[in-house]
Structure formats: C-alpha cells, structure tokens
Structure 1
Amino acid sequence: MTHLLWARQRTLALVLIASLALPSSADTGTVWVFLKDKNGNDGRPIPWTVHADRELADLPVTQQYAAQLESYGSLRTRSRWLNAVSIELPDADAERLGDLPFVAAVSPVRATRRAVSPAHLPARKTAAPHQDYGPSFEQLNLLGVPLLHTSGLRGEGVRIAIMDTGFNWPDYRAFAHLNVIAARDFINDDEDVTDQRDQPVTGDEFALGQAGHGTRVLGLVAGNDPGQLIGVAPNAEYLLAKVEDLARELPIEEDRWIAGIEWADSMGAHVVNGSLGYTDWDDGTGYTYGDLDGRTALTSIAAQIAVERGLVVVVSAGNEGNKLWHYITAPADAPSVMTVGAVHVQSAMIASFSSRGPTSDGRIKPDVVAPGQFVYSVEGGRGLVPGSFGSQQYGRLNGTSAASPLVAGVAALMLQQDPTLTPHQVNDRLRSTATDLGPVGPDTVFGYGLVNATDAIGLQPEIPDQAKALRPFPNPAVGETPVVHFPFQLIVADQVELSVFDGAGNVVDEIAPQRWVEGTHTMAGQALAWRVPKELATGVYHYRLMSSVFDELGTIAIVRD
C-alpha cells in the first residue's frame, strides 16, 4: 500500500511538472523525460502509474526507450524509481520529445547555485581541547556522543552514503583508517571522487576546490585523527557519491542527486546524508514555497522513496534563515526524512542562517537541530602530497550542511546498537528524545530540539544526586604539554566554563561556555580538559569553574620540565 500511495503522488507530481515551461534562454538544456511504462521481467511493458511497486521500481528504464532518446542528445542519468531519463540536448529539440509515443511528460532538470556557507563567527573564548577528540570534542559532547564511543559504538557494520561535491579523503591523516566500500563520480562518469585536473565536465577541479565541501562533511562523521578530529561514526563503512558540479553556472542539479541516492540504495546503504538543497533558480523555473509539500520536488519524492525502501535519509534544512527565502529547501520537506537545523557548537543557540519551517502543508520542519556553527573538521582541499594520508590541515565551518552529517552519524550508532530499527523508528527516537530548546514542544526553528544521542540509543548516563565541581587532576601539571582535567557532576544539562588567572589576577586563558549533558563527568576523556598554554611558566595559577549551579575557585600548579 505504501508504494502504491507514492506511485499516485508521483503521478500528481508529473502532471504538475509537465505544465511548467521548458528552458528557452540557452542553446542547450537538460530535461527530464518521464516514461509511460517500463518492461517487466517478462519483457512486456507495464504502465508505470498503475504498477509502480518496489519490484518494478528496481528494474532499469526500458533500454529501447533510452536508445531512441539518445538520438536527440546526450543521456545523463536514468532513474529507476521515477522511470525517467535526463538528457542534455538543444532547446529547440526538447519540445519534440513530448510527441514520442512512450513519453508521459517532459520538464526541466532543476538547477541552482550552492548557497554560500555563512562566514563563521569567532568563539567568544578559546575552545576546549581534549586529549583524544581535540577541538572536535565540543560538537560531539553537545550531542552526547563520547559516552557512546566509550561504550564501543563507533559505527561498525553500518554503511553510510555521503552525497556531496567530491571527497579528497586519500590526502588526510584523519581518513587513513576509512573503509570506503565504493565511490562514484556522477558528473564525470568514473570512480574517482577526488579533485582532478582536466576533467571532461568539471575541468580543473584543483582550481575550483570542487571536493572541499564534501571532504569537510565527511570529516565530521568519519574523521579519526586522535588529538585533532574524531567523527561520530569513524568505523562505519562508506559510500561516496559526487553529485554536485561547481564548474557550471547552476551546479546543483537534481538528476545527479537522484542518481546518487538510487546508487546508494543499490550498494546496500543503511544511512544517507545529503547536504544539498533546492529552492528558487535564476532561470525562473524553480520551486516556490508552495511546492514544499513533500510531493512536488523530485528530490523530495526520491528521498521519500528511499525511506520507504529502508534507508535512513538525513538532510540539511538549508542556510536560508536570514535571507529572503527563509524556509527549508527541498528535499528537506519530504515527510520521512530527518531534516536538521544548526545551532552554535558552544552555546546551542540557533544559527541565524538555519532555515525555518514549516512545510507549505503545515508540517513541523526542521525535525531536530545539531551543531552547525563553528564546528571543526578537515580543511578539505587537496593535500601537498595527494594520496599520502599526510595532510593535517583543519578549520572551522558553518552551515546546516555541517549539522546534517553529525546526525547521520548518530543514526548509524543507533543502527549498530539495534540493527532491527526501521527508518521511521530511528526518526521517532531522534525526535522524542531530543532536548527541547525553543518554546515548549516542537516548533519551526529548533524542531523537536537538540539531538541527544545517549537517550536516542537508550544508554542512560549515571545521574548524580547533586551538581558540583570536583578537584582537577593532575595537580601539579608537569611537562611541556600537560592537560588538566576539571571533573564535575550535573543533574541537568548546563553550560560550563573555565577561567584561569595568574597571581596578579590577570586572565591567562579561558574556555568558552559549553553545553554539557547531565551526568558524571569525572574521568579523563569525559571531564572538561584544559591544555596548558606553552607560554605559561612554572608557577601557581588560580582557576574558576562555573555553571549555573556551582562556582568553584581553586589553584593549579604548573611545573615545566
């Protein structure tokens, strides 16, 4: 019944799309050609709108139709799920395709520019380092991920597909461990998803920085460079799909996104992350807010089909919150995808750029929020020695495209802990256990709230009887690069910050307020960690550890070798 329902919705979408004008402003364009039927296993044509069940959807587009269409132009993608072909051809020939007896409708392939990632806002104070996680501790701690790692959940046995601009993963030490099952470049039609020179479609990708965005996204979920960057699910299996072309004026094209998610399904993905969004287009053929109903945009239809086929689909809400558009972008409007907004990694305040809901038919979106402002990942460009796993370049980034992979990683940990969970059960747990940050109840800014990974998995931290700060250790701190741990207990989630002073009362270092989940944070690797600055000489220093319920003063001795 579910698949028949979506077949009817797809039929409605095709009728709506068929009424849109074809592109006319360029010499050539790319269009979707939707087919009336598809050959079944016995070779006989089956009307698509009546029998679009899973068995038929798994069959390829009828080859005879594709061969005829290829005489008009260059075929780009073939969608099994939509029973459609995208083809690049002269604009004058596009109208003729509708006269072919096997064609149901013809419409433009939608394309848009990537929204520029918001410029990052500097942290008010120094970020807290961590002996294992490094600066990435903040983003994982805000979600409650370190406790899951301590419990042995790091993504083993779960397959995650990342769909983005490309991936320079062989260049970074953070990916030396990475288990890449398969990679596919849907733009240049090969298996190399790193930046290359003289590509047939994208040209000089080094100059473009083609794979930078995708590499940074991958680092957030898959990175593993102790002391610098740990991703949410570093031990998962990965499928890497390159679906966005930065060389074109309108690079984000929905046919490649759809080809990517169908490929991910065929390769056995359990979780799909998509950090691309579609709204309005410069050529005037884009979607309107009224189209964000989960049944009109083709990427939204494909994302929903993927969920019904058993994939957890996590997508970014969009970076339109402080722009004229304001709302989420497709496919974030699909009913059963997990749509993720962005909060600041230290304060958990909503990022101004994070797109708002609701959908045009009144549903709550985003579903949840996660760190997406001032988060930490690899730099993303090609390393000095490509393919050496030697680069250690890191930086901060902003955008809901950074929040989405963190939640995709949490979903992978949930599936590692309980492989029987369905996508709808994963989504329900993420929503029902999220920490409500906005008005009471779900809203169109924070959704259901900040993802709480420990609660979503059912791994409850030990809740102490009272909130208090404990004595830091080691004290004295000896050596050239000592790390001092400041343990504490919280009975509810709270902001914790640290200030360190010299004997004259001057502030010599600070750690910005960070949101910590309730529980006992007393062990190395779980407590707040302060890396002693190299410029501090041997001596006695004073500290102040603060939350909303405790304000602890004390001293730390530093002894240099």
Structure 2
Amino acid sequence: FGSRSKWGRYLTLAGTVLVAVVLVAATLVPATALAAPTKTRYLVGFRGQPDVGLVRAFGGEIIHSYRIVPALAVRLPDAAAAALAANPRVAYVDEDGIMHAIGDTLPWGVDRIDADVVQAGGNSGSGVKVGILDTGIDLDHPDLHVAGGATFVDGTSAPDDDNGHGTHVAGTVAALANGTGVIGVAPAAALYAVKVLDSGGSGYISDIVAGIDWAVTNGMKVINMSFGGSSDDATLRAACDNAYAAGVLLVAAAGNSGNPAGKGDNVSYPARYSSVIAVAATDQSDKRASFSSTGPDVELAAPGVDILSTYYGGGYATASGTSMACPHVVGVAALVYYANAGYSNADVRNAMTSTAIDLGTAGRDTLYGYGLVYAPDAVGGGSSPPPSSGSLAVTVTTDKSSYVMGETVTITVTVVDENGAAVGDASVHLDIVTASGKTRTADGTTGTDGTAVFSYKTKVPDGKGTYTVTATASKSGYTSASATTSFTVQ
C-alpha cells in the first residue's frame, strides 16, 4: 500500500505542477499573438503559370485556382498586397469585388407617370389585350411574353421582330416583372405582336389597315401605333374610325417633325384622326422634346427621351421619340381597363385626359395636349403631383482632403433646388476614380435634409495619389446636376 500511496502523490503533484505551468504560460503569451492578421480577398493575375508558392510566401491562402485564366483567388494580408503586386511574375492584384443579383430596372418614364405605384397596389393590367402594330416583337425575348399575333408583311411568316423598334415599344408597355431587365407600365398585360412594318421600319397602309382589322376581330382592347406619315388616307381613316366605333382604343405617336420653338401643326397620320389619341414626348424635366410634333390634335404627353426598354436579339436599348412616348399611354390604358372592367374605350380615354398633369399653357394646348398621362389618377386611386420644372444644385465634400491608406473617406452629397431649399428623395449616383484609374460606384437617395452620405475605405489596389469624386443628382421634374471634388491618399 505504501508504494501505491507514493505514486498517487506523484501523480497528484505532477498534475498540480502541469496545471500551474499551463496557467503561467497562458499569462505570459502576448494578447497580440492570438489575433491573426486581417486578410482580404484578392484576385491575383500572373504573367505566366500561377505560382501558389509565391502567394503563400506572402501569407496568402488559396481560395480558387482556374483553368480558363492565369489567376488565383486568395485571401491576403492587406499589407502584403502591394508587395505581391510589385513581383515581376504578377500582372495585377485586384480586390475581389462583389456582384449582386440584378432585379428589374424601373425606367424613368414608368417611374415618372407612377405606374409602379399602381402596380404596388396590385394592378399590373393582367390579361388586358394590347396589340402592338409595329415591326413585330422579339418572340423569344426573356423579358416579354407574347400571347399571340399575326404578320401582314410580304416575305414573313411570323410576327417576329427584324428591326428592334416593335420590341422596344412592347417592353415599355409590358416588360415582365420577373426580377431581370426592365419593367413595363402594365407588366401583366397580354401582348399581341401585329407585324405591319418591315425590317426597315416602313410599311404599306394596306398592311396597317389589315393589322387594325385583325386587332378588332381578335378582341384587342387597345392598340399601339408608333408610326406615322404626312398624308391623309381615306382607307386608313375609315379603319381607325371604325375600329374606335367597335370599341378599340387607338393610340399613336404624334410624330417627330417638331421644331425647338414648338411652332406649327405637324402631327402625323394616323395620330391626327379624331378617333386616335395623339401622344407627344417629354423629357425628364417634363419639357416637350424638341423633336415632338405639335398641333391641335396633340391629346396627351408622355416620357419619350432616353427611354430604356427591351430590344430585339434578347437585349435592351435606350431610344428617344414619340414612338417611345406612345406605349406609356397604352400601358396606362391597360391599367385603367383592368381597374374598371365596365369602361368603354371612350371612358378610358376620358380617364386619362381628365387626370393628366397639366403642362405648358393652362388647359389643352398644342404642345402637351391635356398634359402628362398620370397612372394613379387615371385608374382612380391617387393624386397628381404638381408639375415641376425646377433645377437641382449639387455639392460634394469629403471629411478631409488627405488620407492614409486604409482610412475611410466620408463623402457628403447635398442637393438643393434653384431656391436653395433641400431636395429630399433625389437619386444620387457617385463615381470615384481612383489613383490607379479604376472607377468605384455607389448609389443612394437624399433624406429630408437634402443630403446623402457615403463611405469609401481606401485599399492598396486602388493606389496612392489623387482620387476624383463626381456626384450626379436627379429627380423627376427637375433638371439633373453634377459636382466634383478630389482627395489624396498617401
């Protein structure tokens, strides 16, 4: 028993000593040794075969290697990034950027007439039949659903677009709310492609009349005619008048024959006919586009400058013209039909003209007609904002003029109107051109005090030297404005 007791004491003492050593050791380890250096994700490009060993020699960790590019995705201490970039075997060291899923882009025209407000209330024009009489529609475009159609152009067998114009028009009316691309005024409307114009954008009146005839026979509620000519035609006039009498709402582009002074009577046919709504074009400041035709037949105005929409070939494009203004009105008509099932075409027409935002001379005039079409009031729920034609002024400042690499720059953008009053809810786009020539961007919105604040952390890959910051502010009803400042990074 004595030896057993001895070993028992030994083990106990040994355990005590071991614990003591561990505790002492723990108290002697510097706290900084427990914290690993901060590492940032970078993409490292090589002039030849990627060198994993080189990256690791600089304290880097490999995330990905690739077959298709001579590069490595790594985690690297910030302090080592510049040193690695200086190695002759390295082509570049770029901070690993972040991309985001792209949702529907709200084109400014759809936003200006507040169609998105109506959509948010549950009205997207679902099922309302809209005939697009044009060059056809891209039948395979991922942002469009074409419910049917027909072609009346010689040498074609389907109403597929071979020009792009018709697809652009169709997108403004009803580009889908599908989380990609753009969104139209009435994204759930039933689009019908009625091809009456050829690949050059021209068409015979006889083909157009055939298209109108098809629209009546196939129950279209509203048709879009973004085309025109300078001469009256008895058959076309009769077709439009009879289609209107049959209950179809006809909407046409007023034409692009206007002049900067807004003088003269130059509205195109068929927009000149009393059975057709003639649509003029406005810009982001609610001013008539200089090309927009004028005259007593102008009935409504709608956005028609720099309009982003779908395009043939599955793409997107920006275009200007009364052709682009016309589908905004057609889309609103679809929303009105959906909200008011018992409305006739005359009722829908009156709903849009009587609630339009009056622009220009009070009352109906030769530039804007009754004014800018406004979706919430036309469908019967909302109030028109007063027309605005103000201008914005922008200032952009940084909290310091010079920074040490790794510091954060605070950028303040202030937006006021022409009277110096703060402008809230203005969109602000920021471009930061770094010393290395890269452009970093950010977007924000001003608060009620007219300011938007951004933060930018300086990084080694962006380089030392002068940085330029440009802020651009915009808001519907105002002329956009920009301002620039600069700072240095040492």
TM-score bracket for this pair, using the shorter chain length: 0.5 to 0.7
SS at match of 1:555: strand
Mapping for residues 328-339 of structure 1, pairs under 5 Å: 328-339=267-278
- Matched with 2:367 is 445
Out of 328, 336, 347, the residue aligned to residue 414 of structure 1 is 336
| 1:226 aligns to 2:179 (yes or no) | yes
| 1:552 aligns to 2:450 (yes or no) | yes
Alpha-carbon separation, structure 2, partners of 1:255 and 1:423? 25
CA shift for structure 1 position 275: 0.7
Mapping for residues 230-309 of structure 1, pairs under 5 Å: 230-246=183-199, 251-279=202-230, 287=231, 297-309=234-246
Q: What are structure 2's unaligned runs of at least 5 residues? A: 1-100, 402-409, 418-422, 460-490
Alpha-carbon separation, structure 2, partners of 1:298 and 1:252? 15
Q: 1:335 to 1:502 in 2, by over 3 A?
A: same
* Greater length-normalized contact order (CA 8 Å, ≥ 6 residues apart): 1
The percentage of counterpart residues that share the same residue type is: 30
Q: Which structure: larger Rg?
A: 2
CA shift for structure 1 position 264: 1.0
- Matched with 1:426 is 348
CA shift for structure 1 position 493: 5.5
Mapping for residues 91-170 of structure 1, pairs under 5 Å: 132-134=103-105, 136-170=106-140
Give the residue type in structure 1 aligned to 2:147: I
Give the residue type in structure 2 aligned to 1:174: D
Alpha-carbon separation, structure 1, partners of 2:244 and 2:394? 47
Aligned 8 A contact 1:501 1:542 in 2? no
Out of 185, 190, 214, the residue aligned to residue 166 of structure 2 is 214
When the two structures are superposed, what TM-score results if normalisation uses the length of structure 1?
A: 0.53
CA shift for structure 1 position 223: 1.3
Mapping for residues 450-461 of structure 1, pairs under 5 Å: 450-460=372-382
Tell me the matched-pair count: 339
SS at match of 1:305: helix
SS at match of 1:306: helix
SS at match of 1:215: helix
When the two structures are superposed, what TM-score results if normalisation uses the length of structure 2?
A: 0.61
Aligned 8 A contact 1:158 1:416 in 2? yes
Alpha-carbon separation, structure 2, partners of 1:339 and 1:274? 10
Alpha-carbon separation, structure 1, partners of 2:414 and 2:236? 42
Aligned 8 A contact 2:300 2:372 in 1? yes
CA shift for structure 1 position 299: 1.9
CA shift for structure 1 position 410: 0.4
- Matched with 1:314 is 251
Alpha-carbon separation, structure 2, partners of 1:315 and 1:182? 21
- Matched with 1:347 is 285
Out of 166, 173, 187, the residue aligned to residue 153 of structure 2 is 187
Aligned 8 A contact 1:435 1:448 in 2? yes
Alpha-carbon separation, structure 2, partners of 1:137 and 1:357? 28
SS at match of 1:229: coil
Give the CA RMSD over aligned residues.
3.9
Aligned 8 A contact 1:168 1:211 in 2? no
Alpha-carbon separation, structure 2, partners of 1:154 and 1:396? 23
Give the residue type in structure 2 aligned to 1:349: K
Mapping for residues 346-425 of structure 1, pairs under 5 Å: 346-358=284-296, 365-378=297-310, 380-382=311-313, 391=314, 393-425=315-347
Alpha-carbon separation, structure 2, partners of 1:146 and 1:403? 17
Alpha-carbon separation, structure 2, partners of 1:300 and 1:188? 23
Mapping for residues 71-86 of structure 1, pairs under 5 Å: none
Q: What are structure 1's unaligned runs of at least 5 residues? A: 1-129, 196-209, 280-286, 359-364, 383-390, 464-489, 515-520
Alpha-carbon separation, structure 2, partners of 1:374 and 1:509? 29
SS at match of 2:324: helix
Question: Which contiguous aligned blocks of 4+ residues in structure 1 show a shift greater than 4 angstroms?
Answer: 130-133, 323-326, 490-500, 504-514, 527-537, 541-546, 558-561
Q: 1:560 to 1:182 in 2, by over 3 A?
A: farther
